[in-house]
Amino acid sequence: MADLEIRDLHVEADGTELLHGVDLDLDKGTTLALMGPNGSGKSTLAYSIAGHPAYDITKGTITWKGEPIQELLPDERARLGVFLAMQYPVEVPGVSLTNFLRTAVNAVNEEDVPVREFMTRLRSEMSQLGVDESFLQRSVNEGFSGGEKKRFEILQAALLRPELAVLDETDSGLDVDALKIVAEGVNRLKGPDLGVLIITHYTRILRYIQPDQVHVMFEGRIVASGGPELADELEEHGYENIKDLKASV
């Protein structure tokens, strides 16, 4: 049994079914890429794994480390090691970034990390990700540029040390240098205890973070799977052949 096992997942939002039976396996220590055209349901899947309240799972299961998690609250899932770097990170006005990170780290570790130890760790992770110290004074995502938000998502992953990291278009909005820094950040986290699901439209991030497998989503279903070469093929030819791919499943 895979560490993350998604079976026949049907998801609705606002009364419309968006995922029509998704199956997916992901083991810790491996990296999966999920690609697919706009609106195909990639983020819906990511949010469903994290427990976003707008998405109702009407059928199927999400099993993580042998335990069904689809009924758990988002924070319970996070404490089980699930992390979602969001495509559109949320601005939370006034909530101090430092305070937020410390509360999150304490919640996930289920212990009180002493302030000084925490600040030392935070500063070191920030400098590795090229996040300026002045951000310590800021509010969560408030007024951050697109790229800053993405960096901040990875900074959170670095602090929370998840076992499953879903990166939903973390590469979009990043310039080449930033992409490299962020990808290096993800690679530092990688190891036998981390499974990564990278959602992207482009192969450029996959050149830094090598996927073991690539899945293609189309209209709420996974319609093709293959090795890393599938990503190159998609980037070159687009999703025009998707119907053929669909037929070949």
Partner 1 sequence: MTTTLHLDGLTEDALTARSGEGGEPDWLRDRRLAAFKRSLDQRWPDSRQDEFWRSTPFDRRISVDREIVQGGAARAPGGIGDDADAPVVVANIVDGALTDVTVPSGVADLGVVVTDLAEAAQTHRGLVEAHLGSLTTSDPDGTGAGSDRTITVNDAAWTAGVFVHVPAEVEVDTPIHVRIHATEAGAHLPRVLAVVDHHATARLVFEHTSADDVDALVDEVVEVIAHDAAKVEIATLQRWANTVQHLALQKVQAHRDASVRHLSVTIGGATVRLLPEFDLVGPGAEVRPLGVYFADEGQWFDLQPYVRHIAPHASSDVLFKGALQGNSQTVFRGNIFVHADAVGTSTDENNRSLILTKGARADSTPFLEIECADITAGHGSATGQIDALHLFYLQSRGIDRDDALRLIVFGFFREVLAEGRIPGIEDAALADIAARVEAADLGSVQVNDAALQDHT
Ligand X SMILES: Nc1ncnc2c1ncn2[C@@H]1O[C@H](COP(=O)(O)OP(=O)(O)OP(=O)(O)O)[C@@H](O)[C@H]1O
Report the interface residues with ligand X, using CB under 6 A. 13-14, 16, 18, 36, 38-44, 54, 87
Binding mask of the shown chain, residues 72 to 111, with x at each position contacting Mg ion by CB under 5 A: ---------------x------------------------
Which one of partner 1, Mg ion, ligand X, none is in contact with 93 (Cβ closer than 5 to 8 A by kind)? Answer: partner 1
Q: How many CB atoms lie within 10 A of CB 198?
A: 25
Nearer to ligand X, 11 or 108 (CB): 11
**What CA–CA distance (Å, rounded) separates 92 from 167?**
20
Which one of Mg ion, ligand X, partner 1, none is in contact with 41 (Cβ closer than 5 to 8 A by kind)? Answer: ligand X
Which one of partner 1, ligand X, Mg ion, none is in contact with 6 (Cβ closer than 5 to 8 A by kind)? Answer: none
- Shortest gap between Cβ of 140 and partner 1 (angstroms)? 8
Q: Where along the sequence are the contacts to partner 1 (CB under 8 A)? A: 13-14, 50-54, 73-75, 77-79, 83-84, 86, 88-90, 92-96, 99-100, 103-104, 107-108, 139-140, 156, 160
Nearer to ligand X, 41 or 185 (CB): 41
- Shortest gap between Cβ of 8 and Mg ion (angstroms)? 22
Which positions from 19 through 48 interact with Mg ion, judged by CB under 5 A? 42-43
Is 156 a binder of Mg ion (CB under 5 A)?
no
Q: How many CB atoms lie within 10 A of CB 240?
A: 8
- Shortest gap between Cβ of 211 and partner 1 (angstroms)? 23
Which positions from 200 through 229 interact with Mg ion, judged by CB under 5 A? none
Q: Which residues in this chain contact Mg ion in the complex, by CB under 5 A?
A: 42-43, 87
